[in-house]
Each structure stands twice: as C-alpha cells, then as structure tokens.
A and B are shown apart, each in its own frame.
Chain A
Amino acid sequence: MASEELKSDNAVEITGLRYRVGGKMIFDRMNISIARGKVTAIMGPSGTGKTTLLRIMTGQVLGDRGRVLVEGKNVARLTADELYDLRRQMGFLFQNGALFTDSSVSENVAFPLREHTRLPESLIRHIVLMKLQAVGLRGAAQLMPTELSGGMARRVALARAIAMDPKIIFYDEPFAGLDPISMGVIVRLIRRLNDSLGLTSIIVSHDVEEVSAVSDHSYLISDGKVVAYGTPQELEHNKSAWVRQFMKGLADGPVPFHYPAPDYATQLLGEEHR
C-alpha cells in the first residue's frame, strides 16, 4: 500500500526516521510534521543533514527506518512511476539553481511543461511569461543562464519550480551566497508565492534572520534530533542555551569554539621538551 490515510492536515509527516551514513548516525528517531499551506523552516548548523532531510522527503534518498509521508504517500514504498507522479506535485529549488546551461531562461522554465503536457506552443509561452513575471524576470526570458547573477539564477529556478503549479515547494539553502537585496527579494517571493498559490513551503537554511522573517514555524535540528520547534518568536525566547547560541550566532556556548583537543599548556610544553 503506497497511499496511507492522512491523520492530520500535514503535507509532510516524518515519524521515527533513522538514517546512517557509514558509521555516522545522521537522523535518530526524528519526528517532523509540516503543516499544509504554511512556510516551515528546518534550521541547524552546517553538516547536520538538513539537505539530506529534504532529499529523504523527496525520495532522492531513502531513510533506514521510520516513515516519511508526503501528501499521504509513504515515499519509501513508492515505485519509480509513483514517485515521479508524486514529484509532479513538488517543486524543488536547488542551492545553485541547477538550470540547464545549454538552454535560455524561457526554455528552462518551459522544460517541465514540454515534458509533462501537450500544450500548444503559444500557451506554453504565455505560462512561461507569467511565471517569469511572478519572479520579476520577464525581461530576462531570452538570456542564457551564464548571463545571470546568482540571485537571478535562483529566481529563474524558482519560476521553473512553480511552472507545474506544485502543491509543495522545497527550498535548499535559498539565501546562501546572495547579496542583501537579492536575499530580500527571495524572502518576499517565498512568502508571496506561498500565500498567493496556496503552497506548502519547506525551507532548509541556517540564515536565522531571513528564515525568521519568512517562516511560520521552524524546526531546529542538531545531532540527528529535533532540538526545538516553534514560531520564530517562540524560538527567539527559547530558554535552551543551545537554541540561544544558534539563534544569536554566538561563537562559544554548548557548541564549543574549540574542536576537542588535549590541554593547551600540556601540549605546548610537551612539544618544547620533545
């Protein structure tokens, strides 16, 4: 049975997820629920497996144990065709945009439409222009991806991700490496697209300020577990030292500044006597 009953109004439900790479436990009995129609952020330090979590939700990677339900479907039990059917309801914004470098901006946005529909050329052109207008790049339709700035490339990728009118959209580090203006544009776009198209948005990021500006709820993950969950305001006032360190970007705290090492003085003196 690929399809299972949704118990709640959640677009994504992860229960008891375990995932191990080599000897390292990435997720250990992780539980996450993503509310439908909301912008939910998954935050955590680099290397905690945030992107891997997105890949598990989209079926690019399979977890070792636990259940991942997306739109009521157990991702791990789907056949390849069923997974592709589910992905038609998803949009995915890659960190680098993942645009096809040999096609123009408009061809990139038209790609999923050409692959999945038999719409006439004139209609495809209209849809492409509408999607590009939504991200403010209708004027860049004829440019090649190499002619775009990082922020523009991400907006084109966003237009491509919403080309098929998905139900859920996944953003992998949407703010990484952008200038403040582009960052502001992306923040506004995520919110606007979510509200106007009735999407469910899932953002993976470690940019606390931008995420707080756009998300309805945030999960903080570390060491394979959910450390905290709540609205940006609730997380801001969270009592946990770890959450405070992460949210305020403090260099030292429960996550120490120093990588574990032998005693400093002993090591220095030991070196001298050698």
Chain B
Amino acid sequence: MGLLRELYYIFLGFFQGLGACFLFLFRILRCTPAALLRWRIIWQQIYSVGAMSLVLIMVSGFFVGMVMGLQGYNTLSKFAATSALGTLVALSLLRELGPVVTALLFAGRAGTALTSEIGLMRATEQIAGMEMMAVDPVRRVVVPRFLAGAVSVPLLTMIFSAVGILGGFVVGVSFMGVDSGAFWSQMRVNVDLWDDVIGGLIKSVVFGGACSLLAVYEGYYSHPTAEGVSRATTRTVVNSALAVLVLDYLLTAFMIHGV
C-alpha cells in the first residue's frame, strides 16, 4: 500500500508540475506581443544565451563530427562503402545528433544560467521590486529570456550540424583518405531537404522551446534561498535532458510514420 501511495504522489506531482508549466507557458505567450515591442531586450538575451554558447557548440559539434567520421569510416570500410561516409555523417547530425546534443548542451550552458539568474532575482527581491514598480516580471524578465532561448537553439543546432559535417570531412577525407567528391556528392544525393534538414530543424525548435520553458519556469518558481536556487538549477538540467530525449522519440516516431 505504501508503495502504491508513493507512486500515486509521484504521478500526481508530475502532472501538477506539467500543468503548472503549461499555465506558465500560456502566461508567457500572453505577454509575448508586448515584450516583442522591446526587441532590444530580447536581442541582448539572444547575445547572452545564444552567442555566448557559440564556442561550446562549435567545439562540441566539431568533435562529434570527427568521431562520426572515424566511427563511420571504420564501419563502412568493412563493407567497402566508405564513399557513403558523407551521407552517414550528415544524416546522423541533421536528424538526431545536431538537435539532441545542442539542446542538451544548451540546457547545461544557458538553461542553468537562466534558472539561477531568475531564481537569484527572486531571492534578492528584484522580482518583487519590479512588481512594486508596476512592471510585470513575466513580461520584462521571463519572456525575453524564453524567446531568446527558443530562437537560439535552432540557430545553434544548424551551426552544430554544419561544423559537425566539417569535422567528419576533416577526419574522413583529410585523415582517412575518402574521396572528397564522393563525400559531398553522396551527401547531396541522399540528404532530403524536407525529411532531414527541416525535420531536424522542427525538432530543434521544439527542444529549444521546451528547454527554455523549463529553465525560466524553474527559476521563476524557485524557493528564494541559496538551496532553493541550487535545486532549481539541478532540476532544469535533469528535466530538460529527460524532456529532450522523450520528445525526440515522440517526434521521430511521428516523423517516420507521418512523413
């Protein structure tokens, strides 16, 4: 009985959290038109959450691409199909690795920063101060950060995939001796704009929205103490990672059966 009750409360807590998260999303969307008029604030946030993540994304993308090149070459050479290396690297990155790894890195690099920043603003009464100055903190603080995250992740994903393909090219063509023409032409023939590129982009838009929402939600509703903010930051990473992986499966299943 104790275990059942425990499970009941876990599920109840999960759905309560999910509901609160969606209500918060509606509140964000309601404030979005007003926040869009202050595009400068959103621009600043895109710089701090997006542009500041560029180096991490590019370095990670390059190494992931290099590993793909190495592993792909190793496997394909057993079937004398190394000319398909370009296709393998591009499809893996565009369809899966690009959106998923970028979203996970974004959650770790920028999501945590968003949560702790908003959480500390609440702990130091800056949020309450804003409310007392008749400024809605959701419009002024949360929406610009959410939009910046949601815009940045697809852009970062594109950069991740592009740099990754370059990494695969460097290892496959420069180090392993795969023919450069075969690498690019096979990729051009086998990568479909709608199925692969746009499909991956749709995933990244969903992941960006989910990671940004979780980050601002956890920050806004964190307990205004040092421990509360630290817990909220941890929850951001854990929940974002889970959300990305679960959503990835759902979107992939939908795309494979739907397309």
Contacts and interface: CB of A to CB of B under 8 A. Distances in A.
Interface of A: 58, 60, 84-85, 87-88, 90, 92, 94, 96, 98-101, 111-112, 115-116, 160, 164
A115 B133 contact: yes
B131 interface: yes
B192 interface: no
A100 B131 CA distance: 13
A98 B124 contact: yes
A38 to B, nearest CB: 21
A11 to B, nearest CB: 16
B29 interface: no
A88 B134 CA distance: 6
A58 B131 CA distance: 10
A58 B133 CA distance: 11
A79 B5 CA distance: 40
Interface in B74-132: 124-126, 128-129, 131-132
A115 B129 contact: no
Nearest to A172: B125
B136 A94 contact: no
B140 interface: yes
B51 interface: no
B242 interface: no
A116 to B, nearest CB: 7
B226 to A, nearest CB: 15
A90 B124 contact: no
Contacts of B131: 60, 87
A234 B134 CA distance: 37
Contacts of B129: 92, 94, 98-100
A100 B134 CA distance: 15
B7 interface: no
Interface string B220-241: 0000000000000000000000
A224 to B, nearest CB: 24
B113 to A, nearest CB: 12
Contacts of A96: 124-125
A85 B136 CA distance: 12
A164 B135 CA distance: 13
Contact of B132 (A58, A100, A101, A116): A58
With a 10 A CB-CB cut-off, give which of B124, B129, B131, B140 has the most chain A CB atoms: B129
B125 A98 contact: yes
A158 to B, nearest CB: 13
A92 to B, nearest CB: 4
B135 A101 contact: no
A58 B140 CA distance: 20
Counting from the closest, the 7 A-B pairs by CB-CB distance are: A98-B129, A98-B125, A92-B132, A84-B134, A87-B134, A112-B133, A88-B134
B26 to A, nearest CB: 15
12 contacts: A84-B134, A92-B133, A94-B125, A94-B129, A94-B132, A98-B125, A99-B126, A100-B129, A101-B126, A111-B135, A115-B134, A160-B133
A115 B128 contact: no
A87 B124 contact: no
B125 A116 contact: no
B148 to A, nearest CB: 15
Contact of A111 (B124, B128, B133): B133
Contacts of B126: 98-101
Contacts of A100: 126, 129
Given A87-B131, A88-B134, A100-B126, 17 more contacts: A60-B128, A84-B134, A85-B134, A87-B132, A90-B132, A92-B129, A92-B133, A94-B129, A96-B125, A98-B124, A98-B125, A101-B124, A112-B133, A112-B135, A115-B133, A115-B135, A115-B140
B124 A116 contact: no
Contacts of B136: 84
Contacts of A85: 134
Nearest to A84: B134
Contacts of B133: 87, 92, 111-112, 115, 160, 164
Contacts of A90: 132
